[in-house]
Structure 1
Amino acid sequence: MAPSSLGVAIVVPCYNEAARLRIAALSELARVAGCDVVAVDDGSTDATAALLAEAAAADARVHVVQRPRNRGKGEAVRQGLLWSLAAGYDVVGFCDADFATPATEVARLIDACHQGHVVALGSRVGLLGHQIERSLPRHYTGRVFGTLSSVVLGFQVYDTQCGAKVFRGGPALQAALDDPFASRWAFDVELLGRLAHQHRGTADFLEVPLQQWHDVAGSKLSLAASLRATADLARIRRALARHRRVTPAA
């Protein structure tokens, strides 16, 4: 399988998404963001596999990675990114299957990496003129989580949990993806910590305030999941310490 002409692949992790995933949304992401789409079916038990097969048959830019068992979003994203790097893509990333982050915003993150940044993070900042539609409980839970995550990482990040991130490929990203993550839900924090170690800092990281983002009904990231992710931060801190000890920087 040959990469797209732009060498960009965006991973979309999917688990039991048959009721809400639109085939057209996958093709729209490919068209608007100028990328290939790698949909990872994380051991779904509904009709997700059939839906993704239909999407891939309808659009050559959509590819499907089938996982036999459900291992959580973090592992689905990791496997999708590894698959994309092995296929030869130069820029890779991921976004959530609910497409709360529009394709136009994913395109902005891709542009940031084309301009030289090694990591581009979508950030849900409520600025004048921006349309960030997020419930108050999620906003305040996110602010607490973001503050604690910054303490664990040792550098300031406003929004670690926005479901859209893009990376430049290379040895640093490959090394950051070699081992499974310690957390199913807060894997973003661990991935950022690994990348900061591999790149010897965050000078080429960019947090991009999104112009549009909206809560989507049926999201799997419940308040309970957010609390579990917060509890995972101590485990992530230990995992990052181990990564720094045993994995040389790129």
Structure 2
Amino acid sequence: MRLFTIIIPCYNEGQRLSICEYQNFLSSNKDCIIFVNDGSTDNTLLVLTNFLNKFPQQVLILNLPNNVGKAEAIRLGVLLALKETSNNLIGFMDADLATPFSEVEIIKYVFSQHNYKMIFGSRILRIGAHIHRFNTRHYLGRVMATLVSIYLDQPIYDSQCGAKFFEPEIANKIFIVPFVSRWLFDVEIFKRFLLLGYSLEDTCYELPLHTWIEKGGSKISIWDFIKLPIEFVNIFLHYPNKDNCLDYRVLYQD
């Protein structure tokens, strides 16, 4: 099976990074991790440097002097992955590993069996799965997911899950230019897919996760939640309303 390059955005994650989980994954796999230190003011960079020293062939650090937000941190990490590990499948996950590495192996297997361009996790609460979310965030998330599905006219259950993986050629087209939104860039990912002329149902797979555990300590503040509707409106106004828009696709040509 093909290797992964996983982008991990980090902002003041020094106390939340599960050292054992990261080390176990890197020790038992040949996959790569790119940690993007997004202007952290704590000891995050020191912790990441320790990973780099122990796994110099598998770890890269992109150190950003100023905080640019999750969307831009991930985008810059993807561009670095395309440059340094161009043959690998590329994805991103949250630093706290709410989506554990065990799900990565499942995603890798699905990629090996199908010709998908993107696989993204979905936090569907069901019997046999271990999906634990704070109630407030769960209900806010369901409202947002419904709005996104209506906006995109696509049956996506969980657009905002922080685990998405891509074929490198599509990652290059999706991440080549900055996103409009700081937090709702996942919506833009799907919109850009559509504007490039791809059918989400034919090229993407929404994978119900077996495990997703909300860890707490989120960097999204109450003020950020208040601004989410504004970000959604900005996305709506920025992108063409028509899928497969030729005038917009030229921005993403190789």
- Give yes or no for TM over 0.5: yes
Cα distance in structure 1, aligned partners of 2:154 and 2:80: 29
Cα distance in structure 2, aligned partners of 1:199 and 1:27: 40
- The residue that corresponds to 2:249 in the other structure is 247
Q: CA deviation at 1:62?
A: 1.8
- The residue that corresponds to 2:216 in the other structure is 217
Cα distance in structure 1, aligned partners of 2:164 and 2:49: 25
For the structure 1 residues 106 and 221, does the alpha-carbon distance in structure 2 shift closer, same or farther, using more than 3 Å as the test?
farther
Cα distance in structure 2, aligned partners of 1:16 and 1:210: 26
Cα distance in structure 2, aligned partners of 1:237 and 1:219: 26
Q: More deviation in 128-137 or 228-237?
A: 228-237
Match of 2:39 among 37, 40, 43: 43
Match of 1:102 among 100, 103, 108: 100
Letter in 1 for 2:110: A
For the structure 1 residues 223 and 159, does the alpha-carbon distance in structure 2 shift closer, same or farther, using more than 3 Å as the test?
farther
Q: CA deviation at 1:212?
A: 0.7
Q: CA deviation at 1:89?
A: 3.4
- The residue that corresponds to 1:114 in the other structure is 112
Cα distance in structure 2, aligned partners of 1:193 and 1:178: 14
Match of 1:180 among 172, 178, 181: 178
- The residue that corresponds to 2:151 in the other structure is 152
Letter in 2 for 1:174: N
- Count of residue correspondences: 245
2:75 is equivalent to residue 73 of structure 1: no
SS at match of 2:66: coil
- The residue that corresponds to 2:227 in the other structure is 228
Cα distance in structure 1, aligned partners of 2:160 and 2:149: 12
SS at match of 1:77: helix
For the structure 1 residues 188 and 30, does the alpha-carbon distance in structure 2 shift closer, same or farther, using more than 3 Å as the test?
farther
Maintained 8 Å contact 2:5/2:34: yes
Q: CA deviation at 1:41?
A: 0.5
Letter in 2 for 1:126: L
For the structure 1 residues 201 and 98, does the alpha-carbon distance in structure 2 shift closer, same or farther, using more than 3 Å as the test?
same
Q: Flag as ranges the 4+ runs of structure 1 deviating above 6 A.
A: none
Q: CA deviation at 1:47?
A: 1.3
Cα distance in structure 1, aligned partners of 2:30 and 2:191: 28
Runs of 5+ consecutive residues of structure 1 not aligned to the other structure: none
Match of 1:30 among 23, 26, 29: 26
Maintained 8 Å contact 1:10/1:38: yes
Q: More deviation in 190-199 or 25-34?
A: 25-34
Question: What do residues 85-138 of structure 1 show as CA deviations (whole Å, max 9, x unaligned)?
Answer: 111133000000011111011222232233321110100001111111112211
Letter in 2 for 1:247: R
Cα RMSD (Å):
2.1
Maintained 8 Å contact 2:78/2:171: no
Runs of 5+ consecutive residues of structure 2 not aligned to the other structure: none
Question: What do residues 143-167 of structure 1 show as CA deviations (whole Å, max 9, x unaligned)?
Answer: 1000111122231211111111111
Q: CA deviation at 1:31?
A: 4.7
Question: What is the correspondence of 1:124-203 to structure 2 with a 5 Å cutoff?
Answer: 124-170=123-169, 172-202=170-200, 203=202
Letter in 2 for 1:150: S
TM-score, normalized by length of structure 2? 0.88
Cα distance in structure 2, aligned partners of 1:31 and 1:158: 34
- The residue that corresponds to 1:91 in the other structure is 89
Maintained 8 Å contact 2:3/2:30: no
Q: Percent identity?
A: 33
For the structure 1 residues 163 and 33, does the alpha-carbon distance in structure 2 shift closer, same or farther, using more than 3 Å as the test?
farther
Q: CA deviation at 1:240?
A: 2.6
Letter in 2 for 1:70: N
Letter in 2 for 1:44: S
TM-score, normalized by length of structure 1? 0.90
